[in-house]
Amino acid sequence: MALVAARPVADFPAMLARLRRQRGLSQLGLALAAQVSQRHVSFLETGRTRPSREMVGRLALALDLALQDVNALLLAAGFAPAHGESAYTDEAAAMVRRVTQLALSAHEPFPAFAVDRAWRPLAANAPAALLFGALLSEDGLDPKISLIRAACESPTFRAAVANWGQLVAHFQALAEAEAWRAPPGPMRAELDATVAALKAQGSEGVAVHAAPGAALILQIRGAGLKLDLVSTVARFGAPADTAADDLRIEFFYPADAASEQVLRSLAAGAESA
């Protein structure tokens, strides 16, 4: 587990109140979620009561904090951090990268991406690089820009998606949910930029209609290509380090037999090239 860099100790009462307000919770709402009295939450936020380590854990769970914020809340309360803070490329995240690569490879010939909580690309399997790389950017995927923002800013991608309005609505809900939980820093900044790009799309009068069926289908059309894809997103079930906590793996599946055949043909053509 990577060591957490030293940082100034924050004011616990002020930090708790800020995190609670960011999540739109009243003191009563947080008290109910943490299974404590509203009076106790009030005393914690005014500094009349000092929290135990166990209480900080209960509050962090009730607030649905990212591990980085859990560490910050513990430090503010005078306790040692509980979780490592590693980047995906750090030596401490070797297991995370190995599991990710196994998942991406096992999903071929269908596309899959590994991204961080800002949806910035960390890794992709060959089908994802082949299909989405060409649609999103002529220069390849930029690890500093979220795939969602890249999609918004790519005329090629927008033109290729038949149900762009549905996708914008889905993207905005996803980005806002991640921004709500992301700690301050580069990931939050990229999520804010992504939300702004999506709202700009909305202001252009993009029509949004209810998606039929059980899940949103990504409808790709153009240049003789007709693909209907659905996606699922996987995360580590019990992350103990920020590298695992921030990771999402998005798997795309063909929504019908015809789309499956197209993806298999594209993969076979790439292998023979």
**Residue 202: pLDDT band with limits 50, 70, 90:** low
Does residue 1 lie in a domain region?
A: no
- Are 20 and 155 contained in the same domain? no
Query: CA-CA distances (angstroms) from residue 16 to 80, 104, 142?
Result: 17, 38, 35
Q: What residue numbers bound the domain in which 42 lies?
A: 12-76
Q: What is the pLDDT of residues 235-260, one digit of tens each?
A: 999 999 999 999 999 999 999 999 99
Does residue 85 lie in a domain region?
A: no
Q: What is the pLDDT of residues 121-142, one digit of tens each?
A: 999 999 999 888 878 876 677 8
Q: What is the pLDDT of residues 77-113, one digit of tens each?
A: 999 999 999 999 999 999 999 999 999 999 999 999 9
Q: How many CB atoms lie within 10 A of CB 25?
A: 17
- Are 121 and 225 contained in the same domain? yes
User: CATH number for the domain including 26?
Assistant: 1.10.260.40
Which candidate, 248, 261, 256, 182, places its Cα nearest to that of 215? 256
- Are 58 and 163 contained in the same domain? no
Under 8 Å between Cβ of 255 and 228: yes
Does residue 44 lie in a domain region?
A: yes
User: CATH number for the domain including 129?
Assistant: 3.30.450.180
Choice among 116-130, 178-192, 223-237 with the minimum mean pLDDT: 178-192
Domain count, the chain: 2
